[in-house]
């Protein structure tokens, strides 16, 4: 119970930091936010209008309160570049990112389990060492490097898959599965290693454990021992790793979407940062941060549920 309370308190603290940071982005800009947003060519009247729009003449705490109030009623302001409400833009771009990361997850978990079990049951063998070298290598290469190498190999030199997703958008991506192959592969490459390694460690530890040996002596076949007894024990530590993995997929989406010109949350975020489109940046920061805080909170709570006894190091 105490764990639950502190963990929730940390999540609330994280949310507070995010809200303050997102608000501080416009409030604490060096100089005047209106001057930064308006650019060098803005006239004095235009700046005055901007200041009024942004409410820069009011005291800071009041501005924070107003901003929070608008936020809770779903009003994230309008993009400075397109004039479209930020919430509309977020909703439009959500589908592409959800398809990319969702598909990557759907392939990732079974693949990591297969790789982890294969190498965990043959710990120290040639297969084990080869698989671990490959997954460590894929994990180490930053997505943008891996992506370009993959595009060069499968698109430029062999023409097997398209190098960009231009022309397909949101749900339309699903209508052209070929465009998704390379982006999803790159997302997988970076995340497979950590997850497979956790499965491998768990399987290796539990398949040699006294209880597993006892079950084999009782005459249970290897399949039952593996699926019913070894895997469930090996999977508990995996929950927290899965939270990290999902977080990694979101970060990876920033890079992969840029590389393959996907119109998703990642590219939208980067465009907003490059254009210094502050209301949009705030929106993207909030969406990404809340997703990540939630995933981590769920991961920790589930992990705690499945491994209730924790050791505490103290004098």
Partner 1 sequence: MLRILLPAIPLVLAVFGPLLPLNAAPEADPLLGPENGHPLGTDALGRDVLALVFSGGTSVAGMTLAALLLAYLLGVPLGLFAASRRRRGTDEAVLRVLDILLAFPGLLVLMVLAAAGHREPATLIVAAAVLQLPAVTRIVRAAALAPGCRTAVEAMYLQGMPWWRIQFGYVARSALGPVATDAGTRLGIVLYLLASANFLGLGLPGSAPDWAVVIERNATALFSQPLAVLVPAALLAMLCVGANLTVDRYLARLR
Q: Where along the sequence are the contacts to partner 1 (CB under 8 A)?
A: 6, 9-10, 13-14, 17-18, 21, 25, 28-30, 36, 132-133, 136-137, 139-146, 148-149, 151-152, 156, 163, 247-248, 250-251, 254-255, 258-259, 269-270, 272-274, 276, 278, 281, 284-285, 288-289, 292-293, 296, 313-315
Nearer to partner 1, 64 or 144 (CB): 144
Helices and strands counted in the chain (H then E) = 15, 0
Q: How far apart are CA 122 and CA 71, in angstroms?
A: 53
Helices 278-306 and 2-27, packing angle to 10 deg: 170
Cβ 229 to partner 1 shortest distance, Å: 26
Strand partners, 78: 85
CB neighbour burial string for 257-268, b if at least 16 within 10 angstroms, e if fewer:
bbbbebbbbbbb
For 62: left if phi > 0, alpha if psi spans -120 to 50, otherwise beta; the answer is alpha
Cβ atoms of 179 and 173 closer than 8 Å: yes
Question: Which residues are CB-neighbours of 42 under 8 A, at least 6 positions away?
Answer: 34, 35, 50
Cβ 140 to partner 1 shortest distance, Å: 4
Nearer to partner 1, 216 or 276 (CB): 276
Nearer to partner 1, 40 or 45 (CB): 40
Cβ 256 to partner 1 shortest distance, Å: 11
Cβ 114 to partner 1 shortest distance, Å: 21
Nearer to partner 1, 223 or 310 (CB): 310
Nearest to 117 by CA among 207, 188, 189, 35: 207
Element (H, E) at 48: helix 44-54
Cβ 224 to partner 1 shortest distance, Å: 31
Cβ 175 to partner 1 shortest distance, Å: 25
Nearer to partner 1, 82 or 211 (CB): 82
Nearer to partner 1, 110 or 157 (CB): 157
Nearer to partner 1, 42 or 292 (CB): 292
Nearest to 168 by CA among 102, 96, 105, 100: 96
For 183: left if phi > 0, alpha if psi spans -120 to 50, otherwise beta; the answer is alpha
Cβ 261 to partner 1 shortest distance, Å: 10
């Amino acid at each position: 119970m105490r764990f639950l309370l502190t963990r929730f308190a940390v999540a609330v603290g994280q949310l507070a930091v995010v809200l303050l940071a997102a608000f501080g982005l416009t409030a604490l800009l060096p100089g005047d936010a209106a001057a930064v947003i308006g650019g060098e060519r803005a006239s004095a009247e235009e700046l005055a209008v901007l200041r009024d729009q942004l409410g820069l003449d009011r005291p800071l705490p009041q501005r924070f309160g107003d901003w929070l109030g608008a936020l809770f009623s779903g009003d994230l302001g309008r993009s400075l570049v397109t004039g479209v409400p930020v919430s509309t833009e977020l909703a439009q771009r959500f589908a592409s990112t959800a398809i990319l990361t969702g598909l990557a997850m759907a392939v990732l978990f079974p693949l990591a389990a297969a790789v982890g079990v294969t190498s965990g049951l043959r710990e120290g063998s040639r297969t084990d060492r080869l698989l671990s070298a490959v997954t460590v290598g894929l994990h180490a290469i930053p997505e943008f490097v891996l992506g370009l190498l993959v595009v060069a190999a499968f698109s430029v030199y062999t023409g097997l898959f398209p190098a960009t997703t231009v022309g397909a958008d949101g749900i339309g991506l699903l209508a052209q599965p070929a465009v998704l192959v390379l982006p999803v592969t790159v997302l997988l490459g970076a995340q497979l290693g950590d997850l497979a390694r956790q499965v491998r460690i768990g399987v290796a530890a539990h398949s040699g454990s006294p209880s597993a040996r006892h079950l084999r002596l009782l005459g249970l076949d290897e399949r039952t021992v593996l699926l019913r007894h070894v895997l469930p024990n090996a999977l508990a530590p995996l929950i927290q790793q899965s939270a990290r993995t999902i977080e990694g997929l979101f970060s990876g989406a920033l890079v992969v979407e840029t590389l393959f010109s996907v119109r998703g949350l990642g590219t939208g975020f980067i465009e907003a940062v490059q254009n210094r489109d502050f209301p949009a940046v705030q929106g993207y920061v909030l969406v990404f941060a809340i997703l990540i805080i939630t995933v981590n909170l769920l991961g920790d709570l589930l992990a705690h549920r499945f491994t209730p006894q924790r050791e505490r190091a103290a004098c």
